[in-house]
Structure formats: C-alpha cells, structure tokens
C-alpha cells in the first residue's frame, strides 16, 4: 500500500513567521533535551533575521488549513541557515536548524526543507552544506547519511569547538 503524500509548501520565512519559528525552536530544544539553554526570543529572531544585514535566513514548511496540527498550527517545520566560507573550498551554507513537528515526520517535509537549503546554497555559489547533528539522534543521522551526507568528525577527524560567555569576553580582551 502506497503512503499518501502530505500536501505542503516550502517558502521563505517572513518577519510574521518569527512567533511560530520561536515556538518550533523551543519544541526542537525540548526534543534535544536542552530547552533550558534557549536564550533567544521572538524579538531576537525578528531583529537578527530581518534587519538590513541579517545573521540568518529561514524557510518554512506550511500545510493547508485542513491538515493543520492537533494544536491548530499550519506552520509545521522550518530550517534556518546562513552563509559561511571555507578557506579550502570557498562558499558554503550552514544549516543551523532543520525541524519538523513530530506528527508531520515521515511525509517528505524534512527532506524538502533540506533540499531547499541545498538549492539556495547552490544558487549562491556554495560548494558544501554543513550542519551538526546530535550523536544520539540515530533517526536524523540515518536520514542525513541516506541523503549522501557524511560525518566529518569521523572521516576527517575535526572537532567542533566553541567559546562563549566569560571565556569569550576574556578572549576578546586578549586572553591569558
């Protein structure tokens, strides 16, 4: 029996979507068991994504009203991305988030969102799409591997590093 494909559209996020994106960011953080680490607000998203020089771009997955979620949402997934640069390969796109509400997973929405980020990256002259995935998130890892992605941590031996908070301030002041 063939599964019926869900009707949905993928479109660029707008300022008016920030409330729903903030909701889904919190849902993603709860899924990843890090909800206590969310510091950004809807206002931050509006300012950082829709100012003259945006820090990120976004796309939205939307279903028709008749397919809305059990809680009444029609915006059921999103991806946030921004452009970076590789000193070896040139232009790159980094996908910060890819999220689909649980009740809408397995219907091609996540793949369509990721495909759109790849299309936008290629259109901007990017040669690679980069992103991070939690080690324990086997369904997502399997999905990404099935799309032809590979793990640079195991294949190339890189570690993703971060400096934040007091350490970032200390580093900016000249470090030790």
User: Are the C-beta atoms of residues 97 and 78 closer than 8 Å to each other?
Assistant: yes
Strand partners, 77: 61, 100
User: Are the C-beta atoms of residues 104 and 63 closer than 8 Å to each other?
Assistant: yes
At which residue do the structure tokens 């029609």 appear?
74
- 144 in active site: yes
How far is residue 26's CA from residue 40's CA, in Å, rounded to a whole number? Answer: 10
User: Are the C-beta atoms of residues 57 and 13 closer than 8 Å to each other?
Assistant: yes
User: Are the C-beta atoms of residues 21 and 56 closer than 8 Å to each other?
Assistant: no
Check 83, 99, 144, 150 and give the catalytic one.
144
Closest by CA position to 98, among listed 40, 158, 141, 157: 141
Closest by CA position to 160, among listed 136, 125, 132: 132
- Which element (helix H / strand E) includes 12? strand 9-12
Active-site residues, by number, are 144
């Amino acid at each position: 029996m063939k599964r019926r494909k869900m009707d949905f559209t993928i479109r660029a996020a707008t300022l008016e979507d920030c409330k729903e994106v903030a909701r889904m960011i919190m849902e993603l953080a709860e899924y990843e068991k890090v909800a206590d680490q969310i510091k950004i607000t809807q206002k931050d998203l509006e300012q950082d994504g829709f100012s003259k020089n945006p820090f990120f771009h976004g796309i939205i997955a939307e279903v028709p009203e008749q397919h809305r979620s059990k809680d009444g949402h029609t915006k059921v997934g999103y991806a946030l991305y921004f452009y970076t640069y590789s000193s070896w390969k040139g232009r790159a796109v980094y996908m910060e988030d890819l999220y689909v509400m649980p009740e809408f997973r397995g219907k091609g929405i996540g793949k369509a969102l990721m495909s759109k980020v790849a299309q936008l990256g290629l259109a901007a002259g990017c040669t690679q799409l980069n992103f991070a995935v939690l080690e324990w998130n086997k369904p997502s890892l399997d999905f990404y591997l099935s799309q032809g992605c590979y793990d640079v941590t195991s294949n190339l031996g890189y570690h993703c590093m971060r400096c934040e908070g007091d350490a970032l301030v200390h580093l900016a002041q000249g470090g030790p």
